[in-house]
Structure 1
Amino acid sequence: MRKDRVLAGALAAVTAFSMTACGGGQAGGTTQAAAAGTQAAAENTANPNAETTLSIGYTTAANADDPYHFTATKFKEIVEEKSEGRIAVNLYASSQLGSEPEMWEGMQTGTCDMAVMTNAYVSSYVPANGALDLPFIFSDLGQAREIVDGDFGQSLIDNMDGTGVTCLAFSEGGFRQLCTKDKEIKAPSDLNGLKIRCMETKIYLSAYKALGVNATPMAWGELLTALQQGTVDGCDAPLSVLYTNGFPDICKYIDNVNLFYSPLPVCISTSVYESLSEEDQAILKEAAQEAAKETRENNDATAEKMESDLTSQGMTIVSSEDVDTEAFQSAVQPCYDEMESYIGSEWVDQIKSLTGTEG
């Protein structure tokens, strides 16, 4: 985890960057992916005085307002300040350390230090986390944050013990909105037969099946090319991710359906974490919590401007007020029934009670 880990991380980044430049990486096309990787790498300055160097990966671009990059950047700043330079953190954007499943499995084996994850992928390994991924489970961001920050969120963090991965905090992407090429979405019937890219997770696939969507699982790095070629008609992602990753060039609509809430677990390999002193463990946990708080604040502060900029670039923003939310909630009930045994009835019952969700 010291100098040998720095070298290993650098070699992994070079290899992954070469793969990205050949078209297998981050959404936004080859040029944008390469630029994002270069930008993130430029932020990794050598610190000969560091006793420990950690690498943190994520799949999205190194854009200032992207919530994954924002979280990682703030985490780096806070850790290096609190440790007075004893701990250095290097950032690897655009899937340079692998896809999210690859990073998760790398953290389990200790070959990947850290990652800013999408909760939906985490729930593939820790099904209880899927309680946060249920469609329309939260009425608004305030409710979601209160529950994630409370006892329920802490129970999910504790429940990850024994997986080989430790969750330091839940950062936030926000609500995942639909982004469609040629058709605005206001009701479930508007989705019938559309090919929508989704993460290959049981809950998302079940939700889209209930909505009559031809769900098309694929890696994030393949998405923009798939949209350009007509392989898919749309996707879901937080507004800030759509804004910072090249979607206005291809899609016409952002449909504020508030389909899924997207927490971003800030994770570290348990073997790496336990090799640190208690003092340094505390620094990492505090830094992750502070970075998560600042990410939420940035999401809130930039949302209105992002929508304005996207509109000026020719996109149409479908307001949540124009969406038939009740029809959507009714349509996804089969997902709740199907996923209860997968997530665990105790977790589903608890999240329903906390949110006042019926059904």
Structure 2
Amino acid sequence: MRKFYSRVVRNTKKIIVFFLALAVVGAILQNFVAVNYDMKDYLPEGSPSTVAIDTMNEEFEGGIPNARVMVKDVSISEALDYKERLKECDGVTDVMWLDDSINIYQPIEEADPDVVESFYKDQTALFTVTIDENKKIETVDAIREIIGENNAMTGDAVSTAVATTSTVNEIRIITILAVTIVLAVLMLTTTSWVEPLIILIGLGVAIMINSGSNLIFGEISFVTNAAGAVLQLAVSLDYSVFLMHRYEECLIETRDKNGAMVDALCKSTSSILSSGLTTVIGFLALIFMRFRIGPDLGVALAKGVGISLITVFVFMPALILKLYPLVQKTHHKRLLPGFQRLGRFVRRIMVPMACLFAVIAVPAFLASNSNSYP
């Protein structure tokens, strides 16, 4: 490993340019990664819901109704007008209402009240709508324009369309909050104003490369798309921090910057690699979930942690060596107090606390088996 790390520290410029280019390519490619917002596509193949959907698709030629639209304060004739307008929406393949079940040109009081109230009650009309799976977003928006904000709609197609439009904005907010919190924590726990930025640059490069490489899957779930980057940031953060601190320790022993980095990499490889591989195995365990969101998320995150490890061992040493003069220039006093007293206290009570947790673990395990999940 020492020979490999020696080559890394001798080719810092080439490595930095190469990884930054990969990050740019990844940022471009992530725009071409298809995102699936339909949760039913990830149901287990043998689940009752999947079997029911497949059976309905086989038995009926038309599409399965996937939305319901409610319009308040309308008469029968106004409801029929709404039905025709809904039918004209691009993406709507079918609309069912009361006139498909009874003759509405006869007195409605003579019809079966149960049938009538399924579609029309208290001057409120309820339409059953079938929306094209490939045009959910634009069709739901068009229906919303017709019925207005005071009326309502629900169903799988509506939920998928709302999730599609809202997730993008939520990802931005979550990412901004996560980066802000991480930056604040790093500012408090490090002794240089530039060090947190170096760590975030390394993480950002790994995340962009991983996001772009998701193109190899062809399609990912919206859960993976929303949580992947934030989870990769959370689980990979300590790798770069550990390497940076190990480098500073080795730099005290030898003033040779390149030699200190090689020593830091050799000393930290086993710790970082064992931690990273443990995380990778944990994510890969999600492959065995029958609910296929698990495999989708697990493989993407395992790949992300693997890319983060490569970035830490190759890109971060080159970046640290190039920017370390700025780290030294922006050095400041430690903002948090030392925790030596807390450490000594924990050491004194570790045996009693271990016994206490061992006792608590038994009823906690029994109670966990009694949990109910809706």
Structure having the higher strand fraction is 1
**TM, length-normalised to structure 1:** 0.21
Higher helix proportion = 2
TM-score normalized with structure 2 length: 0.20
